[in-house]
Amino acid sequence: MGYKRVLTVQDISCFGQCSLTVALPILSACGVETCILPSAVLSTHTAGFSGFTFRDLTEDMPKILDHWAKEGISFDCIYTGYLGSITQIEYVKRMKSEFLRDGAKLIVDPAMGDNGKLYSIFDLSYAKEMAKLCAVADVIVPNITEACYMTGLEYRENYDEAYVDEVLHALDKMGAKTVVLTGISYTKDTTGVVVYENGTKQYYKHAKFEKGCHGTGDVYSSAFVGAYLRGNDLFESAKIAADYTYKCIANTYGDTTHWYGVKFETAIDYLTERLK
């Protein structure tokens, strides 16, 4: 397996259990050296809070990259989450060309929307540029909403396996040959993940909670990357991440005081045991 070094690029929401505040501890718990490049700093995440502070770090990113280049720093994986602008997408392309070691991977979570809508900060031009980044990534981890905006397919709230196949083929045509498509529900009481690799599709499902929790996409992607860098294949990594995310939700469900995220720390032991 070796000791792998990952760079994760996404925002810091100082309170709220999402983005870098979950990615850093989860990846570290997986036994991976974790380096960070913040895209922005927020006082809280944006779901359910008002009056939050926001500082865009776009201008700092090239200065950091220039210093890393001077120091000869490189990575076994670059994993991106929330990127706040098209300019930041372009910086990730630079990172891919300059900072990845031989055989290293670019894994992109195109965090830009859910439930059929883009987040308010993004528009179709952003989705188009994110599609270009996903086309050159080694693995992408979108949900149905993000996949539809990148490919131009019509979003459907209710769908069948044939529709998911259509989405996967559209992503393949776009250039994304390896896809971990999250939040796939064929029945009301189950959900799961579809892994598409080299034209082959596998599906893993588990029970579905009636109400979702904020930040679970970041928890899932981080656990997936950690498991993958530990030497598990794509499908096994997707399963481990799904089971871990489910346990995080289960450990939080019913606690009305903890509405802003999941208690992912309480399930870290479960994750590390799965990785042994």
* CATH number of domain containing 78: 3.40.1190.20
Where do the DSSP E strands lie in 198-242? 200-207
Residue 74: what pLDDT?
A: 98
For residues 43 and 16, give the distance between their C-alpha atoms in angstroms, rounded to a whole number: 9
For residues 242 and 220, give the distance between their C-alpha atoms in angstroms, rounded to a whole number: 6
pLDDT (tens digit per residue) in 154-191: 999 999 999 999 999 999 999 999 999 999 999 999 99
Instruction: Indicate whether 275 belongs to any domain.
Output: no
Q: Give the residue carrying structure tokens 């792998």.
A: 4
Mean pLDDT, range 9-37, rounded to an integer: 97
Question: Is residue 1 pLDDT above 80, yes or no?
Answer: no
DSSP symbol at 155? P
Buried b (16+ CB within 10 A) or exposed e, 172-192: bebebbbbbbbbbeeeeeebb
| pLDDT above 70: percentage of residues in the chain | 100
Question: Is residue 46 pLDDT above 90, yes or no?
Answer: no
Output the CA torsion sign for 164, 169, 174, 180: positive
Instruction: Indicate whether 95 belongs to any domain.
Output: yes
Weakest mean pLDDT among 29-38, 210-219, 247-256? 210-219
End-to-end CA distance of the chain: 12
Mean pLDDT, range 233-256, rounded to an integer: 96
Could you list the residue range(s) of the whole structural domain that residue 79 is in? 5-264
Instruction: Indicate whether 272 belongs to any domain.
Output: no
The set of residues, in sequence order, having a beta carbon less than 8 Å from that of 53 and lying 6+ positions away, is: 41, 42, 43
Instruction: Indicate whether 123 belongs to any domain.
Output: yes
In the chain, how many domains are there?
1
Instruction: Indicate whether 269 belongs to any domain.
Output: no
Mean pLDDT, range 233-255, rounded to an integer: 96
Among candidate residues 6, 47, 1, 4, the one with its CA nearest the CA of residue 222: 6
Question: Residue 28's CB: how many other CB atoms inside 10 A?
Answer: 15
Instruction: Indicate whether 109 belongs to any domain.
Output: yes
pLDDT (tens digit per residue) in 203-217: 999 999 987 788 999
Mean pLDDT, range 119-133, rounded to an integer: 95
Whether 195 and 237 have beta carbons less than 8 Å apart is answered as no
What separation in angstroms does the CA of 251 have from each of 25, 134, 138, 214, 215? 17, 33, 32, 14, 14
- 195 vs 209: which has the higher pLDDT: 195
Half-sphere exposure of residue 189: CA atoms within 13 angstroms, side-chain side: 0
Residue 212: what pLDDT?
A: 78
Among candidate residues 197, 248, 250, the one with its CA nearest the CA of residue 26: 248
Residue 14: what pLDDT?
A: 96
Instruction: Indicate whether 20 belongs to any domain.
Output: yes
Residue 211: what pLDDT?
A: 78
What's the whole-model pTM score? 0.96
Instruction: Indicate whether 163 belongs to any domain.
Output: yes
For residues 215 and 217, give the distance between their C-alpha atoms in angstroms, rounded to a whole number: 5
